[in-house]
Amino acid sequence: MITAEMPLKPRPRIPEWLRLHLPTENTFAKTRNLLDDLRLHTVCESAKCPNHWECWSKGTATFMIAGDRCTRACGFCAVSTAKPLALEADEPERVAEATRRMKLKHVVITAVARDDLADGGAEHFRQTIEAVRRLNPGVVIEVLVPDFLDKDSSLEAVLAAEPEIFNHNLETVRRLTPSVRSRATYDRSLSVLRKVKERRGGRVFTKSGLMLGLGEREDELLAAMEDLRRAHCDILTLGQYLQPTLKHLPVVEFVHPDKFAEYKERAEELGFVHVASGPMVRSSYHADEVSVPLGLPTR
């Protein structure tokens, strides 16, 4: 985490392969209006995701439940850190209605970390999954969850709603975890993924993601991928870290697309059933593309 005492350095020049052309379709405005109408937060906007223009212009978004105030302050994340507000009882139904209006076949639901709640917000996840499925039969539901402090009861609450994909990001390599993540630990995240497979086996696909360009070495990245496979993680995403503001961790390296392609091959050799690897890849970017190769049902 960058502190107030540390000098702020200008961000390095973004290479051509990371330069985006903003879409002009009016679907972007329609998506924004829909989200505003239903009073919903998205990680696309709160986390300053560089893909949110593209995704909203295609009529999709990643819903962020349990508010837009996180109890953690990770060095890479632009989501606000502040005392959270009370959960909104009707939020699950609003997410379900947004899924219906957007005609989503694959919906991704994430949340801020809610360490102020005894269950970390797990019950709110369960209610949201069930509400979405009631109103949208056949939809593929993917959840991107915090670690819930590795509490068995919280994991069971989410799994009871039977999401098709359970995503929890490892984020970075072991050595960098203390400086990149807040409260979360490398081994705790692996434990979460391992427990999910132990409890549900083939009834749920587990997924995790790593950011590149934070100063990790190649051997450390490969070791992290091996650790994820030992935890029986099925799906992997690899993407370039981009500094959201000058107050966040700086980019150490812009990884070339050819290197991402090489890492994709290495990950597939390790046994991941689906790998998305590229500079602009994020946890939920083109998430629906995983449905077909995994044989998941589509609406």
Classify domain 26-292 by CATH architecture.
Answer: Alpha-Beta Barrel (3.20)
Percentage, residues of the chain above pLDDT 90: 73
- Do 204 and 162 meet the contact criterion of CB atoms below 8 Å apart? yes
Domain ranges of the chain: 26-292
Q: pLDDT tens digits for 252-296?
A: 999 999 999 999 999 999 999 999 999 989 888 777 777 667 777
Tokens of 252: 């150490």
Structure-block tokens of residue 133: 């499925």
Across 3-29, average pLDDT: 62
**pLDDT reading at 7 higher than 70:** no
